[in-house]
Amino acid sequence: MSRLRALTGIKPSGTPHLGNYLGALRPALQLQQTHDTFYFIADYHALTTVREPAQLKEHTYDLVAVFAALGMDFDQHTFFRQSDIPEVTEFSWILSCITAKGLLERAHAFKDAQSKQQEVNLGLFCYPVLQAADILLYDSNFVPVGKDQKQHLEMTRDIALRFNHLYGEDVLVVPEPLIGEEVATIPGLDGQKMSKSYNNVIPLFAPAKQVRKSIMRIQTDSLGVEDSKDPDQCNIFQLYRHFTTAEEQATLAERYRAGGMGYGEAKQQLFEAVERELGEAREAYFELREQPETLEGILEKGRDKARRVALEVRKRVRSSIGL
Ligand code: ADP
Ligand code: TRP
């Protein structure tokens, strides 16, 4: 029996942090067990804001190396670069011709940029249409995304339903969002949401020494070594949870409550748990990151697989609209 397809796009914006890993990358990779996954680097979307050519290229390679190091299976699954499939911009135009301008005026990203008087280029305004093209061009059944993408998914569904209403109920697959509610927001060093905009991140792939140094900077309250501590109120413990078994968590929670353990020791335990899960992947990441030809090879393979699907859908779409 063939599996349902899950597709998502990731903008190339630098090496990810533990919040990205736990909130997006790890769940996406787990979907390989149950779905036919299509993951792509959304470089056309990044162009709405990125103005540095070298940066766009480097960040693209960062992401390929991250997915390879974390064990994406490029034979069974499909990993590609958005801009390698020219049909997506053609399709975006076709979809834009049936999308009401008012729909795009309600988009959060556009409204935000406008209210902050940031640059609003046409690409940013049309961002949701290109995203709909990304999703609909590959007959995606599910789209795993964070809550912040909910509106974009609703727009994609609106656009797909309108298209099918106009041109035939079976032309486009109408996708469902797969919103990862189960992963809570991961706190950063200062207890706020971990985010590159807040400068409070623990990098996913940095040399072990640097990861340890970041972990040692996690903010805590000022209770002394002997005091009893509450694991549920502690940023260290919130992160520890995501890297350990229930048993390990119970053991450390007990030590928090009993007193006699300082936060430095809890940080060391967190560091060791992170190392256990990610140490090997980090080595692989640094090795791959030095091999641009290998990374290009991965992208080429993905391009060929993605393009086969795109061409089929393109044919269906063009014949349904009379082109
Ligand atoms: P940042 O906030 O660092 O700019 P992005 O907005 O680029 O991160 O997020 C990329 C993906 O990682 C999204 O799917 C988002 O839901 C997830 N993510 C980012 N930060 C966190 C966090 N602190 N906790 C859980 N998931 C997160
Ligand atoms: N807009 C998404 C983000 O900012 C990235 C993205 C582009 C995407 N195209 C997509 C996500 C298609 C899911 C499906 O994170």
62 Cβ contact partners less than 8 Å away, ≥ 6 residues apart: 12, 14, 15, 289
Task: Identify whether residues 143 and 106 lie together within a single domain.
Answer: yes
Question: What percentage of the chain has pLDDT greater than the value 70?
Answer: 98
Distance 108 CA to ligand 1 centre (A): 17
Question: 157 and 13 share a domain?
Answer: yes
| 185 Cβ below 6 A of ligand 1 | yes
- Residue 135's nearest CA partner among 121, 105, 111, 155 is 155
**Mutational pocket test of ligand 2: of 110, 142, 149, the residue with most ligand atoms within 8 Å of the beta carbon:** 149
In a domain, 200, yes or no: no
C-alpha span between 149 and 134 (Å, rounded): 14
* 181-214 burial: b if 16+ Cβ within 10 Å, else e: eeeeebbbbeeeebebeeebbbbbbbeeeebbeb
User: Looking at this protein, which amino acid is placed at residue 173?
Assistant: V
Q: Which atom of ligand 1 is nearest to the CA of 145?
A: 14
Ligand 2, CB within 6 Å, residue ranges? 8-9, 11, 42, 45, 131, 134-135, 143, 145, 149, 152
On whether both 31 and 154 belong to a single domain, the answer is: yes
Whether 126 is in a domain gets the answer: yes
Residue 172 shares a structural domain with residue 61:
yes
Confidence bin at 251 (pLDDT 50/70/90) = very high
User: Does residue 35 belong to any structural domain of this protein?
Assistant: yes
pLDDT of residue 2: 87
189 occurs within a structural domain:
no
- Burial class from Cβ neighbours inside 10 Å (0-12, 13-18, 19+) for residue 53 reads exposed
- Residues 75 and 162 occupy one common structural domain: yes
Cα gap 273→251, rounded to integer Å: 14
Counting ligands in written order, which one lies closest to the CA of residue 43? 2
- For ligand 1, pick from 20, 21, 31, 198 the residue to mutate: most ligand atoms within 8 Å of CB: 20
Does 46 map to a domain?
Answer: yes
pLDDT at 182: 60
Q: Which long-range contacts (CB under 8 A, 24 or more apart) does 258-265 make?
A: 258/228, 259/225, 259/226, 259/227, 259/228, 259/229, 260/225, 260/226, 261/225, 261/229, 262/224, 262/225, 263/220, 263/229, 263/234, 263/236, 264/216
Query: Is the Cβ–Cβ distance between 242 and 186 less than 8 Å?
Result: yes
Q: Helix-strand-coil percent breakdown of the chain, rounded to 5? A: 60, 10, 30
Number of domains in the chain: 2
Question: How far is the centre of ligand 1, averaged over its atoms, from the C-alpha of 19 (Å)?
Answer: 6
Q: What is the pLDDT of residues 179-238, one digit of tens each?
A: 866 667 899 999 999 999 899 999 999 999 999 999 999 999 999 999 999 999 999 999
pLDDT given at position 242: 96
pLDDT at residue 14, as a whole number: 81
From the list 9, 26, 10, the residue with the least C-alpha distance to 182 is: 26
Q: What confidence score (pLDDT) does residue 1 get? A: 60
Tokens 């960040």 belong to: 59
pLDDT of residue 181: 63
Mark whether 32 and 144 lie in a shared domain. Answer: yes
Radius of gyration of the chain (CA): 22
* Residue 193 within any structural domain of the chain: no
Question: Cα of 155 to ligand 2 centre, how many Å?
Answer: 12
- Is 194 among the domain residues? no
Verify that 305 and 281 share a domain, yes or no: no
Ligand nearest to the CA of 179: 1
Q: Both 239 and 306 in a single domain? A: no
Atom of ligand 1 nearest to the CA of 180: 16
Query: Distance between CA atoms of 97 and 129, rounded to whole angstroms?
Result: 10
| Residue-number span of the structural domain to which 166 is assigned | 5-184+292-321
User: What is the reported pTM?
Assistant: 0.94
Largest CA distance in the chain: 76
Q: State the distance from the centre of ligand 1 to the C-alpha of 139, rounded, in angstroms.
A: 26
Q: What pLDDT, on the 0 to 100 scale, is given for residue 183?
A: 64
What is the CATH number for 227? 1.10.240.10
Instruction: Indicate whether 110 and 64 sit together in one domain.
Output: yes
**Are residue 34 and residue 175 in the same domain, yes or no?**
yes
**118 and 86 assigned to the same domain:** yes
Cα 181 to ligand 1 centroid, rounded to whole Å: 13
Residues 62-80 have pLDDT tens digits of 999 999 999 999 999 999 9
Q: Atom 8 of ligand 2 has which residue's CA nearest to it?
A: 9
- CA dist 122 and 126 (Å) reads 6
Residue 16 lies in a domain: yes
Mutation to probe ligand 2, out of 95, 139, 145 (largest number of atoms < 8 A from CB)? 145
Q: Whose CA is nearest to atom 15 of ligand 1?
A: 146
Q: Domain with 123 in it: what CATH number?
A: 3.40.50.620
Q: Which residues, other chains included, contact 65 with Cβ-Cβ below 8 Å and sequence gap of 6+?
A: 285, 288, 289, 295
- In the predicted structure, residue 285 carries a pLDDT above the cut 70: yes
Residues 249 and 300 in one domain: no
Calpha distance 323→305 (Å, rounded): 25
